[in-house]
Structure 1
Amino acid sequence: MRTAETSPAPGAPPAPEAAGTTGTVGATPATGTPRAPYTPRAIPPDVLARLRVVDDAGRSCVPYAATEGGEPLRCCLRSAAPGERIALVSYAPLRRWAAETGAEPGAYDEQGPVFVHAGECGGPARPGEYPFARPGALRALRRYDAEGRIAGGRLLELPEDPAEGFDRALAEAFEDPAVALVHVRAVEYGCFHFEVRRP
């Protein structure tokens, strides 16, 4: 998974989104004027500590050195640099959220591959920015209610200002009072990128 979209074996050539860009959450590029209070959430440190031993599929963590970099790290919401120690682990974001909230997502519980640093890191490199965002990228925004059941969703093609596109789509999602959180995923491979909870 050299990018937020794909999951090839380590050492595969980087895909077009490897470098990635980010958009600032809640600020216009020119003025920094506040827009909306949406926060992309990385995988929490306590969960990462467990995933680095055994992942959500019950598999042992197998670290390796990023060859060319570009892997989208869900621990710090940035792309890996060449030589960094990383791991591809299975993660169940809705299950982890349900454990915190007491929700019962039932059959909506899913798990899939995500890249993380193999050891502790400092968390999001740029707090308050939408990660892995570039104009033209396709994202699926899945909405979930307080029980962890799907409550709608939409396809988003990121505009020239990706932050503005995310802000609009998330505002639309949270207009529905039943929506408790949104998962942002790549369209092509369905990879989980990050979670946004109701402000």
Structure 2
Amino acid sequence: MTTTSTVAFRVHALPAEVLDSVRASGVDAFGNRVERVTAEGGDPLRCCLRNAEPGEDLLLFGYRPPLPASPYREVGAVLAHAEPCAGPADVNSYPPGWRGRPQVLRAYDARGWIHDATTVHDGQDPEGTIAELLAEPDVVQVHSRNVAWGCYMFTITRAG
């Protein structure tokens, strides 16, 4: 790893209350039925920030990442374990299983508007790219998104 700059940050998986609600009700926050699927392997889990193993029971549902109401607030499909899991192993570092995966890092300001610091990283030095984005004083959060599908992966904020 060749981190060019360091900054303390936190990664945020899907909130436990969202997961509890979806698992208990069988519907997402928008009233859409949750789909049960079996992992093929490599499916990105937003509950624990790792790739699924083949055969794991998963839920596929619509999720709106945390942003103030703005024209940039989106809803997209996410995958999570069908049953509660331990969550991310470490919220103070980039998810190790996703290192090497190119991602869009979309920066947002306090209004929930996309900041022009948004970038794509190749997966080799995500911490360096995150540090550059969080060095922008107007950036309050960064969403990691899948390059090919555009799906929300997780949120990054400054630690503290």
Deviations 1:115-161 (A, max 9, x none): 101121111134434235243x32111111111111121121122xx
Q: What is the TM-score of this pair, normalised by structure 1?
A: 0.69
What letter is aligned with 1:156?
H
**Closer, same or farther in 2 for the Cα pair 1:127/1:175, shift >3 Å?**
closer
Higher Cα radius of gyration: 1
**Closer, same or farther in 2 for the Cα pair 1:154/1:73, shift >3 Å?**
same
Match of 1:104 in 2: 69
| Separation in 2, partners of 1:90, 1:126 | 25
Moved over 6 A (4+): none
- Answer whether contact 1:181 1:195 (CA < 8 A) is retained: yes
RMSD of aligned C-alpha atoms? 2.2
Give how far 1:92 is off. 0.7
What is the aligned counterpart of 2:63 among 88, 91, 94?
A: 91
- Answer whether contact 2:44 2:79 (CA < 8 A) is retained: yes
- Tell me the matched-pair count: 153
Deviations 1:40-71 (A, max 9, x none): 211011111123332144212232333x3221
* 1:169 and 2:129 correspond: yes
Give how far 1:85 is off. 1.4
- Answer whether contact 1:64 1:85 (CA < 8 A) is retained: yes
Match of 1:113 in 2: 77
- Answer whether contact 2:10 2:158 (CA < 8 A) is retained: no
SS at match of 1:108: coil
What is the aligned counterpart of 1:82 among 54, 61, 65?
A: 54
Match of 2:11 in 1: 40
| Separation in 1, partners of 2:52, 2:143 | 22
| Separation in 1, partners of 2:108, 2:91 | 23
Give how far 1:190 is off. 0.7
Identity %: 39
Q: What is the TM-score of this pair, normalised by structure 2?
A: 0.84
What letter is aligned with 1:64?
V
- Answer whether contact 1:57 1:111 (CA < 8 A) is retained: no
* 1:186 and 2:157 correspond: no
Match of 1:71 in 2: 43
| Separation in 1, partners of 2:109, 2:44 | 27
- Answer whether contact 1:179 1:198 (CA < 8 A) is retained: no
Between 125-134 and 47-56, report the one with greater CA deviation.
125-134
Match of 2:31 in 1: 58
What is the aligned counterpart of 1:142 among 106, 118, 132?
A: 106
- Answer whether contact 1:78 1:125 (CA < 8 A) is retained: no
Specify every segment of 5 or more residues in structure 2 that has no aligned partner in the other structure, as ranges. Answer: none
SS at match of 2:35: coil
| Separation in 2, partners of 1:92, 1:176 | 24
